[in-house]
Chains A and B, each alone.
Chain A
Amino acid sequence: MKGPGNWPERASAAASTLLLGAIGLALFLAIWTFASVRLGSAVLLPPPVEVFWTYGELIADGTLIKDVRASIVRVFAGFLIAASLAVPLALLLAYSRILRGLVMPLVALIRPIPPIAWIPLAILWMGLGDPPSFFITAIAAFFPIFLNSFAGGTSLEAEHVNAARSLGAKPAALLITVMLPSALPMIATGLRIGLGQAWMAVVTAELVAAQSGLGYLIQISRLNLETARVLVGMTVIGLLGAVMIGALGVIERRAIVPWHYPR
């Protein structure tokens, strides 16, 4: 029953947050407009209005929807592949000293390699299109998810383990009923960062290894000097990424770690 303030107070706090955000955005658009007028070149920097009309154009002819769909599929595929490998692996390593000794040095060596450096191998192995893009986004999302989950798994409280053991929990039950839930807050953080990384990587992958998607839209528009289209691609990525990460945050509070956010 705790929480800051009653309902009207919280509603007005939310309203003022929204208002401030809107003012910030309006200021940004004004500066952008001013800058593009001063530059006087639609190739260097088209004004927001032109980008807005280009949105309409691209939605009307269906290219934007197609590219958005292609990118979202890649982000989700890579993200899901990464999460389903990274979380169990991280918890296993946190649990077993031997596995940890075997795998952690490899992780330390592979982690500094940026996703973009994997593109040549990805294309050699998988050609162009979806599979190499899945691979690149998965690589990008893997490490934040893995490292955060691992930190969550190793930060287990001795009291919790001892309490569970004295209440009859066997090793398998310890892993599932104690280690996993106690790592969940860190896993959730890793998932959010991983999703952000996946969005960044999908553009990288599509710039080189695909013939569709928002990265491809940016790349092809750049070659045609259609800067407004480049900006459409960029802003859609920002928008979609923010919405998805926000949605993941809501899921986190409601379903993954509700005890961290008692109402």
Chain B
Amino acid sequence: MARGVCEHSLRATESPLSGASGGGPISPRLHIVGGGEPAPETVEPKAGLPRLRLENVTIAFKGRRRPAVEDVSLSVGAGEFVALLGPSGCGKSTLLNVFAGFRAPTRGHVYLDEQPHLGPSARCGIVFQKHSLFPWMTVIDNVAFGPRRLGFENPRGIAHELLEMVGLADVADAWPSSLSGGMQQRVGIARALATRPPVLLMDEPFGALVAQTRALMQEELLSIWDKLRPTVVFVTHDIEEAIFLADRVVVMETLPGRIAREIPISFERPRAPDVTDTPAFIERRREITELIRAEARKVFR
């Protein structure tokens, strides 16, 4: 199934072509406005330009001696699936909040389509770890929230289509509290995708689920990603999950949070669950496990 790992496992933190900043193509604030039928190919990768880019980003919290994240530069190409992997406390979620525009970096810059990214935007959909659905809205109203706020035509139609995609059309009128954790996360994904964002940021979205559900959710996420091809930044501390999902695993180190290494994952897509049993996968897992163990030991001392 899987081809062997052929690429060099080390990559510069800056991806090629990111130097072409300045007068790049300015994308409109919203990719699509209106249109009852959201077209699946709304995310057209712009040749070569990174979709998201962090430039020497440092994030310090008040009252703490060391910055949570120090001097991180990272480029994510359009349509790329990147996993941010690291032990707790490495600042990966903090970094995701910077990508989302919820937090401004203490130093450094964030670019979305090579434009300064200065606050939450409907171009970045977010999926949280848990409890982020609005409990006062039914499932379908949760998903239709974004399209309504942005003035899309037929928000309920859009919401219904997305619920169908995640297999939850039959609970459209239920309250979120009556759904299982896995179902709630699927609604969360549908809600984040309802505004057709070119970027999908996911903060340990399956971290609170039991193993069985988690595996199914990973497959489902890949099939959704295959259909819509958004740029994904996926935060996790699960090594296998990162390798299974991503095109590139960014391993982070702690104290301060920094990028330890970027590891390209070149298994063929679509990926079947049994890819995790191939020697190449096991080799990748071993490599990353060692890296993280060394990191953990460093902190332990």
**Which residues of chain A have a CB within 8 Å of any CB of chain B?**
1-2, 157, 159-160, 162-170, 173, 177-178, 181-182, 184, 257-259, 262
Contacts and interface: CB of A to CB of B under 8 A. Distances in A.
Instruction: Tell me whether chain A's interface is mostly helix, strand or loop, or mixed.
Output: helix
4 closest Cβ contacts across the A-B interface?
Answer: A167-B146, A181-B136, A168-B149, A165-B120
Given A167-B146, A178-B134, A262 B122 contact: no
B134 A160 contact: yes
Contact of A167 (B119, B149, B177): B149
A159 B131 contact: yes
Contact of A177 (B100, B128, B145): B145
Given A164-B145, A184-B136, A259-B136, A157 B131 contact: yes
A1 B173 CA distance: 12
B146 A168 contact: yes
B178 A168 contact: no
A249 B218 CA distance: 43
A167 B136 contact: no
A262 B175 contact: yes
Contacts of B101: 166
A2 B171 CA distance: 13
Nearest to A158: B102
A41 B146 CA distance: 71
Contacts of A177: 145, 149
Nearest to B136: A181
Contacts of A166: 100-102, 120-122, 124-126, 192
A32 to B, nearest CB: 45
B132 A160 contact: yes
Contacts of B149: 164, 167-170, 173, 177
Contacts of B135: 182, 259
Contacts of B191: 163, 167
